[in-house]
């Protein structure tokens, strides 16, 4: 059954497959592999909150062996040192402390006017009374602009930044051809060099943006490789996942007109709608770990050195934890989904992602009296990526 999970047709809608696997056994070993999939909510939380047993030094996403030619491309550029996502205590605590200073509740709240301005700018460009692609025209540019402004990236560089971010995300979930490996590795080396050059700029002329803060952190003691590794994580995590959150939230409401009407009428329900979209679609479907010791999960032996994939998309619909797990329930939306992780690696940018989604929905409802599917026969299609749940398009019609 596990061999089907990562096939393209199942990736389009993995949730029935998750449920079958949960019913049979909430922990699966992938045949002929050292990869174990954890699908139960409580077991996923246990793995995520036990960094001494399950290390984050697994690398992000599904591991794929790189060809010699692809490795050669990476060898030409800066290496990515372990800082946040792929690091463990005690080293992880140092980097987390540095980054947390930029993501305090007060600093995130202070970004609201800038986010609102960007939202209004994008809304003003949306055509009315004809089909527009919400993913392309709104969900993709909004978080990219927000995170680029946060980092201190000029807007003239947004197009190339989108390519770099998309290529970095593609690595996480699919099997890439050798040529595609070379292309995405080339993008990565270009991105890291870009951040290295901008760090040099800020050493010469200090700035108040996030890159400037990293350069000045700990009295300037962070190395260039540490700075660019942190910036890389912030870019990809702050962009790709929020694109998916924005798209999945609007799709969820469009598919349920009664709930859309209810949320539009009572804006206090917008945060709950965002949380339910996070739970039901889980922008990141799985977090990887490596067992540091011989252990077991639900009686299944997991040898030291084995890879463990915490299946967030399955856990968030676990019927043993959520009542009516496949339904939208705005009253129980704070029922502890784990889409942003759990424990020491809880997403540092979660508050910013939520802020963007809530401001966006409020603004869309304010501006348009009607938001509908552009086609009655629309069927959502997702990227062939088992880790990032990325809606490829969402054609809508907006009316006064």
Number of domains in the chain: 1
Tell me the C-alpha distance between 270 and 260, whole Å. 10
Q: What is the pLDDT of residues 48-86, one digit of tens each?
A: 999 999 999 987 666 567 889 988 998 999 988 999 999
52: CATH: 1.10.630.10
How many C-beta atoms lie closer than 10 Å to residue 389's C-beta? Answer: 24
How many C-beta atoms lie closer than 10 Å to residue 366's C-beta? Answer: 12
Count of residues making up the chain = 400
Residues with pLDDT less than 70, the chain: 1-3, 60-64, 173-174, 333-335
Helix extents (H) in the chain: 2-5, 8-12, 15-24, 41-48, 68-75, 91-100, 105-110, 112-124, 134, 141-151, 158-173, 178-204, 210-220, 224-254, 257-265, 270-281, 312-315, 350-367
Angle of helix 91-100 relative to helix 224-254, nearest 10 degrees? Answer: 60
Q: What is the pLDDT of residue 62?
A: 65
Place of tokens 């690091």: 87
Q: What is the pLDDT of residue 385?
A: 87
Cα Rg for the chain, rounded, in angstroms? Answer: 21
Q: What is the pLDDT of residue 147?
A: 94
Q: Are 208 and 216 in contact (CB under 8 A)?
A: no
- Domain that includes residue 27, residue range: 2-399
Tell me the C-alpha distance between 291 and 21, whole Å. 22
């Amino acid at each position: 059954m596990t061999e089907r999970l990562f096939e393209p047709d199942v990736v389009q809608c993995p949730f029935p497959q998750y449920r079958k696997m949960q019913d049979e056994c909430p922990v699966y070993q992938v045949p002929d592999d050292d990869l174990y999939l954890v699908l139960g909510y409580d077991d996923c939380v246990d793995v995520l909150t036990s960094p001494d047993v399950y290390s984050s030094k697994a690398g992000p996403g599904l591991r794929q062996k790189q060809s010699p030619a692809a490795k050669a491309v990476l060898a030409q550029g800066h290496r990515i040192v372990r800082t946040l996502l792929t690091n463990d205590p005690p080293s992880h605590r140092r980097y987390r402390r540095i980054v947390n200073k930029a993501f305090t509740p007060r600093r995130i709240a202070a970004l609201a006017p800038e986010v609102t301005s960007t939202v209004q700018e994008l809304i003003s460009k949306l055509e009315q009374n004809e089909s527009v692609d919400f993913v392309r025209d709104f969900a993709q540019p909004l978080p990219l602009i927000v995170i680029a402004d946060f980092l201190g990236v000029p807007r003239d560089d947004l197009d190339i930044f989108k390519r770099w971010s998309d290529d970095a995300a593609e690595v996480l979930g699919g099997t890439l051809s050798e040529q595609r490996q070379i292309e995405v590795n080339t993008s990565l080396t270009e991105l890291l060099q870009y951040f290295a050059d901008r760090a040099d700029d800020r050493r010469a002329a200090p700035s108040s943006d996030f890159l400037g803060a990293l350069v000045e952190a700990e009295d300037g003691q962070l190395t260039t490789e540490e700075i660019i590794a942190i910036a890389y994580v912030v870019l990809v995590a702050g962009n790709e996942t929020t694109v998916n959150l924005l798209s999945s939230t609007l799709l969820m409401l469009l598919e349920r007109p009664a709930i859309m009407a209810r949320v539009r009428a009572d804006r206090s329900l917008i945060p709950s709608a965002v949380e339910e979209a996070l739970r039901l679609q889980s922008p990141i479907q799985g977090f990887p770990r490596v067992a540091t010791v011989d252990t077991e999960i639900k009686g299944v032996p997991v040898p030291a050195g084995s890879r463990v994939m915490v299946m967030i998309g399955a856990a968030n619909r676990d019927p043993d934890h959520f009542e009516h797990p496949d339904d939208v329930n705005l009253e129980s939306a704070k029922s502890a989904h784990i889409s942003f992780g759990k424990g020491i690696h809880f997403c540092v940018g979660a508050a910013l992602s939520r802020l963007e989604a809530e401001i966006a929905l409020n603004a869309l409802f304010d501006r348009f009296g009607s938001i509908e599917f552009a086609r009655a026969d629309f069927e959502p299609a997702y990227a062939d990526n088992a880790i990032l749940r990325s809606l490829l398009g969402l054609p809508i019609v907006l009316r006064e």
